[in-house]
């Protein structure tokens, strides 16, 4: 039973290490899924906008971690 | 079943190649971590029970893949692709994104010196010392402790590999077999190196691998979420959307490589 708990913890840890980072990604994906197709963007810009949001989340999270460590 | 690669269109070869490489590299990292502990236990407690524990876990994991894999392969992804809201691709893409961006973030922080690198040699020594301390009463012919230690670590890291394989396998028709082959190749390479070297694979550039896998997974996850949500990419031929993947890989790689020196310089100031 103990290894089952460890496996469950490990599997959860595969996706979530920093809660706010994971939450920001999921929130952006939800927003992108709901809003981007209706945003009136040039159709082929939707994919790059999805990427830009994820890239911004990564940059903010990494820089914020670095600032906390100083 | 959608196991064959013959049915994949030429543009799908990009996805096929990315899937095999990502699965191989991600599995390699997990296998190296498992090998370190298996070697530590085996070198202290003897090999019979350790190998039995690792083999039992591998057999169990193979059973899980055999049970879940064909079921996933039967999901008619190609037909679902015509539906505007492609739920499965969205869910799998989101999970791969969470996984990939987590690895990429950690690899950037490690490369920038903000968190320590993963040290297989130190982990090996720590585990071996703990096992020696637990060895006060001598080691029996059938060593339950060694068996369960090897079983647990193989099961733990192996479950992560199974998830990686299933996530890639579920993301498109014909991808389960290539993803599985990538993982099996990683297992064989690591097992062979473990048998030959008999010491932890400290020289495997784990952070570089995590960096690359993070980039590949983030790119694939972004592409799948985009596909699942029906978002278009600026690709000349609309039926070759897979061609967006190399651009996403380049974009994530460029961004990550840019972030490392920025973090280093901010840390130094």
Give SS3 for B143. coil
A66·B114 Cβ contact <8 A: yes
Q: What global pTM score does this model have? A: 0.76
Which pair of structure tokens corresponds to residue A9? 């913890």
pLDDT score at B42: 83
Compute CA distances B55 → B38, B40, B154, B191, whole Å: 11, 16, 9, 12
Q: What is the pLDDT averaged over residues B146-156?
A: 86
Range of A55's domain? 17-69
Q: Is it the case that residue B2 has pLDDT exceeding 60?
A: no
- Looking at the domain assignment, is residue A49 inside a domain? yes
Number of structural domains (chain A) is 1
A45-49, B9-13, B253-257: which is most confident? B253-257
Do B15 and B245 form a contact (C-beta atoms < 8 A)? yes
Q: Is it the case that residue B148 has pLDDT exceeding 90?
A: no
Q: Note the pLDDT tens digit of each residue in A45-60.
A: 889 999 999 999 999 9
Which of chain A's residues have a Cβ under 8 Å away from the Cβ of B94?
A: 25-26, 29
pLDDT score at B81: 47
Compute CA distances B110 → A58, B116, B239, whole Å: 15, 6, 39
Judged by a CB distance cut-off of 8 A, whether residue A39 touches chain B is no
CB atoms within 10 A of CB B137: 6
Q: Is B124 exposed, middle or buried (0-12, 13-18, 19+ CB in 10 A)?
A: buried
DSSP letter at B11 equals T
Do B178 and B5 form a contact (C-beta atoms < 8 A)? yes
- Looking at the domain assignment, is residue A60 inside a domain? yes
Q: What mean pLDDT value characterizes chain B?
A: 79
- Looking at the domain assignment, is residue A51 inside a domain? yes
Q: Note the pLDDT tens digit of each residue in B53-80.
A: 999 999 998 888 777 766 665 555 444 4
ipTM of this predicted structure: 0.90
A19-28, B45-54, B132-141: which is most confident? A19-28
Q: Is it the case that residue B10 has pLDDT exceeding 80?
A: no
Judged by a CB distance cut-off of 8 A, whether residue A66 touches chain B is yes
A25·B101 Cβ contact <8 A: yes
Q: What is the pLDDT averaged over residues B186-215?
A: 81
* Domain spans in chain B, listed from the N-terminal domain onward: 14-268
pLDDT score at A54: 97
Nearest-angstrom CA–CA distance, B262 and B269: 11
Quick one: angle between helices B12-45 and B144-169, nearest 10? 180
């Amino acid at each position: 039973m103990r290894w089952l708990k460890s496996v469950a913890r490990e599997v959860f840890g595969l996706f979530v290490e920093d809660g706010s980072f994971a939450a920001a990604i999921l929130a952006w994906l939800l927003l992108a899924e709901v809003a981007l197709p209706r945003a009136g963007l040039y159709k082929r810009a939707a994919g790059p906008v999805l990427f830009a949001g994820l890239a911004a989340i990564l940059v903010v999270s990494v820089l914020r971690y670095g600032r906390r460590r100083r | 079943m959608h196991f064959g690669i013959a049915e994949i269109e030429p543009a799908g070869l990009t996805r096929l190649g990315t899937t095999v490489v990502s699965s191989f590299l991600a599995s390699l990292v997990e296998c190296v971590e498992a090998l370190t502990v298996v070697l530590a236990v085996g070198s202290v407690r003897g090999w019979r029970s350790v190998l039995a524990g690792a083999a039992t876990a591998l057999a169990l994991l193979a059973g899980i893949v055999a049970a879940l894999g064909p079921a996933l392969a039967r999901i008619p992804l190609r037909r679902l692709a015509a539906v505007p809201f492609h739920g499965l691709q969205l869910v799998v893409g989101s999970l791969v994104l969470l996984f990939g961006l987590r690895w990429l973030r950690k690899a950037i922080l490690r490369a920038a010196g903000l968190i320590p690198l993963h040290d297989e040699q130190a982990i090996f020594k720590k585990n071996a010392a703990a096992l020696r301390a637990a060895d006060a009463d001598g080691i029996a012919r059938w060593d339950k402790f060694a068996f369960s230690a090897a079983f647990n670590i193989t099961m733990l890291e192996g479950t992560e590999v199974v998830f990686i394989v299933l996530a890639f396998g579920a993301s498109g028709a014909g991808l389960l077999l290539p993803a599985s082959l990538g993982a099996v190749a990683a297992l064989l390479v690591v097992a062979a190196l473990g048998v030959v070297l008999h010491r932890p694979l400290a020289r495997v550039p784990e952070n570089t691998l995590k960096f690359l896998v993070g980039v590949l997974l983030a790119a694939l996850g972004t592409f799948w979420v985009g596909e699942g949500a029906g978002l278009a990419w600026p690709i000349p031929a609309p039926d070759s959307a897979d061609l967006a993947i190399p651009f996403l890989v380049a974009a994530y790689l460029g961004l990550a490589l840019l972030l490392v020196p920025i973090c280093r310089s901010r840390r130094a100031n």
